[in-house]
Amino acid sequence: MKKLLLILPILLASLTMMAGDKKEDTKAGISFREMSWKDAMTKAKKENKLIFIDVYTTWCGPCKLLKKNTFPDKALGEYFNKNFVNIAIDAEQGEWIEFAQQQRIQGYPTLLIMDKDGKEVSRTMGYMPAEQLLEFGKSVKTKKK
């Protein structure tokens, strides 16, 4: 019993540290914020940034691959977090249903870049690796200047 009491705190401490490591890993990539469209535009105006929108659905395979393989990339996260207000929206939920219709979303995933007034700057569709998405983001940012 005494051995168990000695081992238990060590086990809990190691589990806590492992959980902390996972949080650090997820912060390395693109940091998507949960906010309304109005709040995203307000934040973009305040920070003088473009808005990057991942338009996805829960059943979309390529959407899941983007989330798993592309968005966690460290270099991609550094660039997008610095230059964009990043939001991910489920096109089949809440206010985003109407938003997806207004934006004429034809398939998933659709990746939109909008200006701070809500006007489309560029879009691309489908899965892509981190390097390709980074080039897309850089080209749009350069073109917008």
What residues are annotated to the active site? Answer: 60, 63
Chain centre distance of CA 130: 12
Q: Tokens representing 74?
A: 């460290």
Query: What pairs with residue 125 in β-bridges?
Result: 110
DSSP 56-82: E-TT-HHHHHIIIIITT-HHHHHHHHH
Question: Backbone phi, then psi, for 55, in 5-degree steps?
Answer: -95, 115
Instruction: Cite the beta strand spans of the chain per DSSP E.
Output: 50-56, 84-90, 110-114, 120-125
The single-letter code of the amino acid at 92 is E
